[in-house]
Amino acid sequence: MAASLDTAERLSHREPGRLRAARLGLSGLFWRHPWAKALLLLAPPLLAFVLVYVASLVALFLSSFWTVNPLTTEIQHIWNVGNYTSLWDSSVFRTVTFRTVGIAAAVTFTDAVLAFPLGYFMARIAGGRSRAFIFVAVLLPLWSSYLVRVYIWRLILDDKGVLNWALGKAGLPAANIGYSNWAVWLIFAYVWLPFMILPVYGALERIPDSYLEASRDLGAGAWTTFRRVVLPLALPGVVAGSIFTFSLTLGDYVTPLLAGGTNSQFIGNVVYSQIGSGDVPSAAAFAAVPLAVMAVYLLIARKLGAFEAI
């Protein structure tokens, strides 16, 4: 300790006077004005945030008030709210929005139900080695391409796929769920499951053992302890996980495109086809819908304490 102080002193002695003064002046500035340090730390990420994120959102929002030439599909900068009124008037956009939000909610619920017991086992029952093993098992699928996993599910659910083959061997009738909303739901629930397990595990792990012991000492049974102690304390974790599963499903278009049926268009698919046909303004207007949905969702999630659990 003394030696290192010594070194520091010698080093500072060797430092030229002017540089030293500047350094001291700077740390003095930071000490007198804490916001200056914060500004220096935050400037690069803030700049990226404004340029990359906010600017593109503003561009998206602005272009949603433009229109396109019907013959050449060139964008014309004529300001109007027609794109938003047609969103409201046309039933197809409502249907697609409700389907997207509905499946996102179903996926989130499914993942929560699947993740809770697994997270509980990992946090409170499993030993060190088996916990590490489960961690790897949960994260392993994330190392492979998302696209490959969707295509693999397609192979499983195909008419001549693994599922129908296994059902046939068991003497059961074929499940005709390939290329349908069932397939979309199943695949989403599979690919986003790790994003639910990790925050749920984190929340459950943070519950002190003493709480459970206290609950038991006060005469509560296992079920009451779970209902009144574990569940309320783990809920922020579930809500945090649901932000991921819900928003990832809401913004996706690949799985509905590859594995969906005739009634599986998501908001993303409609946006994709509108951009493909050159109608960027309509696409921008429709893309504002999931933004609004997510804003409401995040407000509710904050009320439920999710942001403390991330």
Q: What residue ranges bind other proteins (CB under 8 A)?
A: 68-74, 90, 92-93, 95-96, 154-155, 158-161, 176, 178-179, 257-258, 260-262, 265, 270, 273-279
Helices (H), the chain: 2-14, 17-32, 34-48, 55-63, 82-89, 91-120, 128-139, 146-157, 162-169, 181-205, 209-217, 222-225, 231-251, 254-259, 267-276, 280-303
Min dist. Cβ of residue 157 to other proteins (A)? 9
Which residue lies nearer to other proteins by CB, 128 or 173? Answer: 173
In the complex with other proteins, the residue whose CB is nearer, 123 or 271, is 271
CB distance 187 to 254 below 8 Å? no
Task: Write down the least CB distance from residue 274 to other proteins, Å.
Answer: 8
User: DSSP code of 182?
Assistant: H
C-beta of 178 vs 236, nearer to other proteins? 178
For tokens 């068991």, the residue is 170
In our burial notation (b when 16+ CB lie closer than 10 A, e otherwise), range 284-300 reads: bbbbbbbeebbeebeee
Minimum Å gap between C-beta 89 and other proteins is 12
Nearer to other proteins, 179 or 192 (CB): 179
Residue 65 or 273: the one with the smaller Cβ distance to other proteins is 273
Burial tier of 203 (Cβ tally within 10 Å: 0-12, 13-18, 19+): buried
Taking the complex as a whole, how short is the minimal distance between the CB of residue 264 and other proteins, in angstroms?
Answer: 9
Whether the CA torsion 300, 306, 308, 310 is positive or negative: it is negative
Residue 151 or residue 307: which is nearer to other proteins going by CB? 151
> Least CB distance from residue 33 to other proteins, whole Å?
35
Minimum distance from CB of 184 to other proteins (Å)? 12
Handedness of CA 296, 300, 303, 305 (dihedral sign): negative
Among 125, 114, 112, 123, CA closest to 236: 112
- Minimal distance in Å, beta carbon 70 to other proteins? 4
CB of 67 to other proteins, least distance (A): 11
CB closer to other proteins out of 224 and 263: 263
CA 259 to chain centre: 21
Q: Which is nearer to other proteins, 90 or 224 (CB)?
A: 90
3-class DSSP state of 170: coil
CA-to-CA dists, residue 11 to 2, 7, 24, 26, 224, angstroms: 14, 6, 15, 18, 63
Residue carrying structure tokens 């951009």: 275
Q: Computed over its alpha carbons, how large is the radius of gyration of the chain?
A: 27
